[in-house]
Structure 1
Amino acid sequence: MSSRSTFNRKINYLAAIALLLIPLFWLSQPATIATKETPGSPGGKLSRLRDDYQLSQSQIGEIDPTSVTVKLATLGLRGVAANILWEKANDYKMKKDWTNFGATLNQITKVQPNFINVWSNQAWNLSYNISVEFDDYRERYRWVMKGIDFLEEGTKYNERQPRLLWDMGWMISQKIGKADEKKQFRKLFKEDDDYHDRFDRPTALRDNWLVGKEWYEKAVEMVDNLGVSMMGKSPLIYRSSAPMCQMSYAEGLETDGTFGEVAKAAWNEAAKYWQRYASEGISTSYRREDRLDEPVMIRLGDKELEEKTARDLLAQLDALQPGLREKIVAEKRAALTDSRREALDTPLEKRTGKQLQLASEAADAIAVTHNEVARRITGPKRKKALELAKKIAKHEQLATYVRRYRNIVNFDYWKKRAEIEQSQEMLNARKLIFQGDRAFSEGSLIAARDAYRDGMAEWRKVLDAHPELVSDQTLGEYLLEVIKRYRRILNQLDDPFPEKFILQDVLDAQRNLYGESPQTEQNQEKE
C-alpha cells in the first residue's frame, strides 16, 4: 500500500467526519435562554423533542464525581446507578442519618428525574416516616415541608404527570390538615412565608385546604386538557378531591372559631364545587353492552333523572295492558309453596329466622321483570312493549351504577351537608357549641353549660327541619360527644340531666346503632 493511498484515505475519513458534524450539530444543539441582548433558541432536534415530550436530561454533572454512581451513569448504566443509590438511601434511613439520606435522594433524582416513584415515594418518606422521628412539632413540620418541596421539584421534571400534582394536593391537604398536630401545622403553614412567597399567594389563600385544592385542580385540568392518564387513580376519587378540600376548608374555619358570613360563604362555595362534581363525566368499571372495550360513563347528579325516566317509561309500559303486571304476580304467588306463602304473609317483625329466608326466596320468585310483561303483550303493541322494556332496563341500570358510585363518596351526605351548613340555625349551633367548648376548657362551667344548652336548642331547629339527620351516623357521633361533655359539666355543677332531653331522639338513634343506652352513659359519667 503506497503512502499516497494512505494519505488519501485519511483525507476521506476527515471529510466524512466533517460532514457528520453538520447533522450532529443540527440534532444536538442545546437550547438557549433569551436575554436582553440576544434572543433565545429552541436548540436542535433533540432539544425540541425533549421540550415537546417534557423530558429532562439527567444532571450527570451534579452527581458526586468521586462516587461509583457517576461512573455508571456516564457509561449509560443509570438503572444500576439508581439501584445503588436506593440501597444507600434505605441504609441511611435505617441508621437515621437524615443528612446523608437527603443528599442521596437528591443524587437519585439526578440519575432518574423522570421516574415518578422516586419523587412520590421519597417525598412520602420525608413527610410521613422521617417527620415522626422528632419530638418538636416545629421540627416535624420542617420535615413535612421538605417532603412537599421535594415532590414539587419532581413536578418540574415531569410536567405531564398528573399523579405528582395529585400527590402534592394530598400532602398539603391531608398531612397538614389531618395530622395529630393539625392545629399547630395549619398555623405554621399559614405563616410559612418562605413557601407561599414563591407563589405570591395572599394571606387569605394560605389555608392548607385551599392550597391542596389548587394542586388537585391542576391535576384534573391536566387530565382534561392534555388527555394524559390518571396513573391508576379512580376517576371518582380523583375528581372528588378538590371539592372535598373545599368542604374541609369550611369545616376548618368553624373548628378555628370563624363563623358568620365567612363560614357561610365557604360552605356556599363547597356546595357549588359539589354540584360541579355531580355534573362531570365519570368513567366506571362497567362496560358498555354495545362496545365492550369502552367503559360506561355516568354523572353523579343523574340518579334522580334516570329514576324518573325509568318510572315514566314504566307507566307507559303498564298502560299498554293495564293489570297485566299484577296478574303475573298473582300467578307466581299462587305457584309458591305453602311455607313460602306463609312466610311472605307474616309481618317482618314476627318472622322467625327460617321464615326470613323463605320470605326472601318468595320475594325473588314472584318478582316480575319488565321483559316478562312485554312478552305477555300480544298484537301490534308487542313491539313497542319490548322497546319500552329495554329502555326501562337501561335507565334502571344506569341509576343503579350512579347510586353505587354515589355511595362510595358519600355523595348524598356531603350534598345535604353543604346546603344545611349555610342555614342560620346551623351557623348559630356551631358557634354556640364552639363557645361552650372554649368555656369548658377554660374552666368556666356555667358559661359552658349555657352555651351548650343554647347550641343544642339551635340543633333542635336544624333536626326538626331535616329529620333524616337524626339517624345520620357521622352527625350522630359528633352530637354524642357534645352531649357527653354537657353531661360532664352538669355532673360537676351537681345539676341533674334533663328528663325530657331536647336531643333525646339523637341519643335513641345512637343507642340503636351501638347498643349503648343513655342511662348507662350517664352512670359512667358520674363514676
Structure 2
Amino acid sequence: MNQQKRFYRKIVYACIIVALLLPLSWLSQPQTTDSDGGQLAQMRERYQLGQAQLGEIDPASETIRLATLGMRNIAANLLWEKANEYRKTEDWVNLSATLEQIARLQPNFVSVWVFQGWNLSYNISVEFDDYHDRYYWVIKGIDFLKEGTTYNKDEPRLLGKIGFTIAQKIGRADEHVQFREMFVEDDDFHGSVPVSQRDNWLVGRQWMLKAEEAVARGVPLRGQSPLLFYSHPVMCLINYAEAIESEGTFGEVAKNAWRQAAENWAEFSNHDFPTKYNVFARLNEKEDYEEKSKQAQAKLEELAPGLREQIREERIAALSEEERDAYNTSPESRTSKQQQMMFPISLKIEVTHRDVADRVEGEDRAAALQAAEEATFADEMARAIDIDRGIVNYDYWKLRCEVEQQDDALAARKLVYDADQAFADAEITQAASLYEEGFDKWRNVLDAYPKLLDDAATSDELIESIDHYRRVLHQLDREFPKEFVLQNVLDADDLYRGTGQRQSTNNKTEAESADPTQSNPAGAAPEGAAAGGENPEA
C-alpha cells in the first residue's frame, strides 16, 4: 500500500513538472528574427536590460563568465585583491592585466570602470616622477573609461567621468601646463580632430554634453546631484576662458570665450532642478520668490496691521529676566554666555507668517491664511535656491562672466600678464610701467563691479602680481606708494587672512572640488564589486 502511494505521488510530481514546463517555456523563449520571444525576452527589450541593449557583446567576456561556473563573484573578489596588491608593489604591467580581467568579468558593472579609471588617472599617475609618464597613465585611465562605454553605452556616469577627467585632471594638475600642451599634440588620442578643437576643457565638455544627451533620452542619472551634473559643462567653458588668458590669449578670442560662458551660464540658470518640496526651481528664480514673499507679507500686514510686531513684543515680554537682559544688551557688550543664549532667544521670539494669520479673526481670516501660506512657500523656495546657488558659487560666476567681457577687464588682464612676463624676463622698468597701467585698469573694473571683492578669488589673482610689483619697485629703489591704487584689494586680502569673513579662496565650485571616489578610497573595491548582478544600479 505504501509503495502504491509513493508511486502515485511520483506520478503527481511528474505531471506538475510537465505542467510547469509549458508556462516556463512560454516565458523564456529567446528572441529571434521572426519572433519577439517570450515575456522575459520582451521585458529585457522593453527595459533595455539585454546585453545587446547595454552595449557591445564581448565573446571573451562571455566565455570567462561561463568558465567560472557560477563562481564569478569569487573570481572578481580575488582579482580585486590582486589589483590592490600590484598597486602597492608598483607592478604596473600586472595591474593593467588584472584590471582588464576584472572588466571582462563584470563589463556592465559601471563602478568597476569608474573606480579603476580614476585609480589609473589620479592615483597611479602620481607614482611617477617624469610628467611624460604621468600623462601616459592619465590617458590610460581615460582610455579605460572610454572602453567601458562600449559595454555600457549611454551611461551618464561613464560619459561624465570621461569629461571630468579630461577637463579637471589635465587642466588642474600640478603639471597642467605640460599636460595641456601634450594633450593638444596627442594625435593618437584625438585622431583627425583639428588642433584648434583639442583644448582639454572643450574636449571634456563634449563628453559631458554626451552624458546630458543620454539623460535627455531617458537614461536615469544615478549617484549624482542634477545640479552638479549640469554645472560641469558650463564650468568647462569658464575654465577654458581662464586658461587661454593665463596663457596669453586676449582680445576677441578671450572676449568670445567669456561671452559663450555667460550665455551657457544663463541657460544653466534656466534649468529646472528638483527641490525637497517636490517642485522644480531654477537658479535665477530666487529674486522672483523673494518678491512674491514681499507681496504676500504686505497683504498680510494690510489684513492685520501691526499684529506681527505685537506678537513679537508679547514674546519678548515672556522671556525670563536673564534672557531679556541678554536680548537688550548690545551685541558688542554681550558676555560669552549671553552670546550663546541669543540663538534660542531668537527662536523664541520669532514670529512666522502663520503665527500672524492664526490671530486674524472674522472674514479676513481665510485671506490671511492664504497670504501666510504663499509667503512661507516663497521664503522656503528662495532659501532652497540660495543653497543651490552657494553650491555652484552662482553669484560669483554670473558676475565674473559679465565682467570679463568688458574692455577694461580684458585690457587690465593683458597689461598685468605682460607685466608678469616682463618681470620674469628681468625687464624691470617695463614691468613697473605695465603694472601701473594694468592696476589703473583694474581700478576702473573694481569701481564698476565692487562685488568682485566679495570672493577672495579676485584678490588672490591680483596679490601675486602686486607682490611682483613690490619687488620691481625695490629693485628700482622706489617706495611702494602710500596711496596705492588697489589698496582695497590689499585690505580685502588682509580681511580674509585675518578673519576669514570672505568666501573661500578656492574659486572652484563644489562640483569641481568633489572627489568622485570619496566613497571608494584607493585600495578598496567598490561596494558590490562582486555582486551577482551585472548592473546593480538597474
Q: Which residue of 1 aligns with 2:268?
A: 277
- Map residues 298-377 of structure 1 onto 2, 5 A cutoff: 298-336=281-319, 340-341=323-324, 343-357=326-340, 360=343, 362-377=345-360
Deviation of the 1:491 alpha carbon = 1.7
| SS at structure 2 position matched to 1:113 | coil
Taking the aligned partners of 1:425 and 1:352, their CA distance within structure 2 comes to 49
1:252 aligns with 2:243: yes
Answer with 388-397 or 82-91: which moved more. 82-91
Q: CA deviation at 1:224?
A: 2.3
Aligned residue type for 1:103: A
1:394 maps to 2:385: no
1:497 has 2:480 as partner: yes
* Residues 155 and 164 in structure 1, CA contact (< 8 A), matched pair in contact too: yes
2:141 aligned to which of 138, 147, 152: 147
Classify the secondary structure of the residue corresponding to 2:217.
helix
Question: What SS is found at the alignment partner of 1:496?
Answer: coil
Matched, 1:207 2:199: yes
Whichever residue aligns with residue 412 of structure 1, its letter is: D
SS of the aligned residue for 1:515 comes to: helix
Distance in 1 (CA, whole Å) between partners of 2:449 and 2:301 is: 35
Q: Which amino acid aligns with 2:440?
A: A
Normalised TM-score (structure 2): 0.80
What displacement does 1:104 show? 2.6
CA distance in 1 between partners of 2:330 and 2:70 (Å): 77
Is the counterpart of residue 482 in structure 1 residue 458 in structure 2? no
- 1:383 aligned onto 2:366: yes
Q: CA deviation at 1:174?
A: 0.7
1:185 aligns with 2:179: yes
What does residue 231 of structure 1 align with? Answer: 222
Cα deviation code 1:232-267 (max 9, x no counterpart): 111221111111111101111101111111111111
Contact 1:332 1:365 in 2 (8 A): yes
Q: 2:169 aligns with which of 175, 184, 203?
A: 175
- Give, in angstroms, the shift of residue 340 of structure 1: 4.7
Which position in structure 2 is the counterpart of 1:220? 212
Aligned to 1:429: 412
Q: Which residue of 2 aligns with 1:89?
A: 83
Residue 413 (structure 1) shift: 0.8
Matches of 2:203 and 2:464, distance apart in 1: 31
Q: In the aligned structure 1, how far is the partner of 2:432 from the partner of 2:37?
A: 75
Q: 1:325: how far off?
A: 2.6
Give me the TM-score of the superposition, normalised by structure 1: 0.81
Q: Distance in 1 between matches of 2:460 and 2:475?
A: 23
Q: 2:117 touches 2:141 (CA, 8 Å); kept in 1?
A: yes
Q: Alpha carbons of 1:59 and 1:117: their partners in 2 closer, same or farther (altered >3 Å)?
A: farther
Which residues in structure 2 correspond to 1:441-520 (within 5 Å)? 441-515=424-498
- 2:44 paired with 1:53: no
Quote the Cα distance in structure 1 between the aligned partners of 2:232 and 2:161.
11
Structure 2 CA distance for partners of 1:177 and 1:409, relative to 1, 3 Å: same
Paired residue for 1:113? Answer: 107
Give the superposition deviation at 1:151. 0.8
Contact kept, 8 Å, 1:126 with 1:144, in 2: the verdict is yes
| Cα offset, 1:445, TM superposition | 1.5
Which residue of structure 1 lines up, in the alignment, with residue 131 of structure 2?
137
How far has the Cα of 1:121 moved from its partner? Answer: 1.8
Contact 1:471 / 1:506 at 8 angstroms: preserved in 2? no
CA pair 88-499 structure 1, distance change in 2 beyond 3 A = same
In 2, distance between residues paired with 1:385 and 1:345?
32
**Counterpart in the other structure of 1:18:** none
Change (3 A) 1:77 1:361: closer
Q: Indicate if the aligned counterparts of 1:370 and 1:393 stay in contact, CA closer than 8 A.
A: yes
Is 2:204–2:236's contact at 8 Å kept on the other side of the alignment?
yes
Q: Which has the higher contact order (CA 8 A, sep 6+)?
A: 2
Tell me which residue corresponds to 2:73.
Answer: 79
Deviations 1:11-70 (A, max 9, x none): xxxxxxxxxxx99xx9477x9xxxxxxxxx99999799436632544533798xxxxxx5
SS of 2:54's equivalent?
A: coil
Instruction: Tell me, in whole angstroms, the C-alpha distance in 1 between the residues paired with 2:35 and 2:239.
Output: 44
Deviation at residue 230 of structure 1 after TM alignment:
2.0
Give the Cα–Cα distance (whole angstroms) in 1 for the partners of residues 311 and 85 of structure 2: 73
In the alignment, the residues of structure 2 paired with residue 495 and residue 42 of structure 1 have an alpha-carbon distance, to the nearest angstrom, of 89
Shift of 1:111: 2.3
Q: Deviations over 1:145-187 (max 9, x none)?
A: 1111111010111014211011101110011001011001011
Q: Which amino acid aligns with 1:230?
A: L
> Structure 1 counterpart of 2:450, which letter?
P
- The answer (yes or no) to whether the contact 1:162–1:220 under 8 Å persists in 2 is yes
In 2, the alpha carbon distance for the partners of 1:194 and 1:262 equals: 27
Greater Cα shift, 130-139 or 408-417: 130-139
Deviant stretches of 4+, over 6 Å: 41-48
Q: Could you tell me how far apart the structure 1 residues matched to 2:83 and 2:343 are? A: 59
User: How far, CA to CA, are the matches of 1:494 and 1:160 in structure 2?
Assistant: 64
Which deviations, in whole Å up to 9, do the C-alpha atoms of 1:388-444 show, x marking residues without a partner?
Answer: 101110111111111111111111111111111111111111111111111111111
Gaps in structure 1 of 5+ consecutive residues: 1-21, 32-40, 64-69, 289-294, 517-527
Measured after TM superposition, the shift of residue 454 of structure 1 is 1.2
Alignment partner, residue 92 of structure 2 = 98
- Paired residue type of 2:226: P
Q: Distance in 2 between matches of 1:475 and 1:99?
A: 45
* Amino acid in the other structure paired with 1:193: D
Cα distance, 1:305–1:511 mapped onto 2, change above 3 Å: same
